[in-house]
Amino acid sequence: MEDRAIVELYWQRDESAVTATAEKYGPYCRAIAGNLLGNREDAEECVNDTWHQAWQRIPPQRPENLRAWLGKVARGIAINLWNRNHAEKRGGGMDLLLSELEDCIPGGAEPERALEDAELGAAISRWLRGLPREERTLFVRRYWYGEALQDLAKSRGVPAAKLAQKMLRLRRKLRSALEKEGIFL
């Protein structure tokens, strides 16, 4: 079913919207949640919450890109689930991913105001567009889709150690770019 038709079902408050969403984007959202949470039970909870959020938010929202919209909702739920369920125990992809992202934190004075997620997202988007396609897709696949380094390395036919070096360079580049824009967290 076309995305537009699925969104229309939400607007008509037709519950088959959720079924259609799950059929089309279930594996996609499950993959993202699985990558980040590393735990089937949490991943399923994340996916179910994503459908619930979709039902709650559409309308008034009318996402133009339903797949991307659902993925973002799933990521937001994933970090909350991870915080809630794993206060003591850490594990799964989220652990490593957040640890790696520490390399991207710009240095400098404390910000005068809290930066909106959307502002930060826009700045990161600008930086990504300045990268060669290869590096851009690698960064997004690792830090948005949460794919494991080993899997990315296999997809590129390179050793994971070499890819880890490249990812470290990319994280440092992001840090420099954020500092140049005067963005501090």
Establish whether the linkage from the previous residue to 63 is cis, with ω within 30° of 0. no
Residues 6+ apart with CB under 8 A from 10: 17, 54, 55, 58, 59
Part of the chain binding other proteins (CB under 8 A), chosen from 7-15, 54-62, 166-174: 166-174
Query: Smallest gap, in angstroms, from Cβ of residue 96 to other proteins?
Result: 8
Nearer to other proteins, 10 or 163 (CB): 163
Whole-angstrom Cα distance, residue 72 to residue 31? 13
Query: Smallest gap, in angstroms, from Cβ of residue 28 to other proteins?
Result: 5
Among 11, 16, 84, 130, binds other proteins (CB under 8 A): 130
Nearer to other proteins, 13 or 67 (CB): 67
DSSP code at position 131: S
Nearer to other proteins, 8 or 31 (CB): 31
Nearer to other proteins, 18 or 149 (CB): 149
- Confirm or reject binding of residue 70 to other proteins (CB under 8 A): no
Whole-angstrom Cα distance, residue 80 to residue 86? 10
- Confirm or reject binding of residue 5 to other proteins (CB under 8 A): no
170, 101 Cβ separation under 8 angstroms: no
DSSP of 134-182: HHHHHHHHHHTS---HHHHHHHHTS-HHHHHHHHHHHHHHHHHHHHHTT
Query: Smallest gap, in angstroms, from Cβ of residue 4 to other proteins?
Result: 15
Beta carbons within 10 angstroms of residue 18's beta carbon = 17
Nearer to other proteins, 14 or 134 (CB): 134
168, 103 Cβ separation under 8 angstroms: yes
User: Binding pattern to other proteins, positions 24-63, x when CB under 8 A?
Assistant: xx-xx-xx-------xxx--x-------------------
Among 46, 49, 58, 143, binds other proteins (CB under 8 A): 143
Q: Assign residue 9 a region: left if phi > 0, alpha if psi is -120 to 50, beta otherwise? A: alpha
- Confirm or reject binding of residue 98 to other proteins (CB under 8 A): yes
Query: Smallest gap, in angstroms, from Cβ of residue 126 to other proteins?
Result: 9
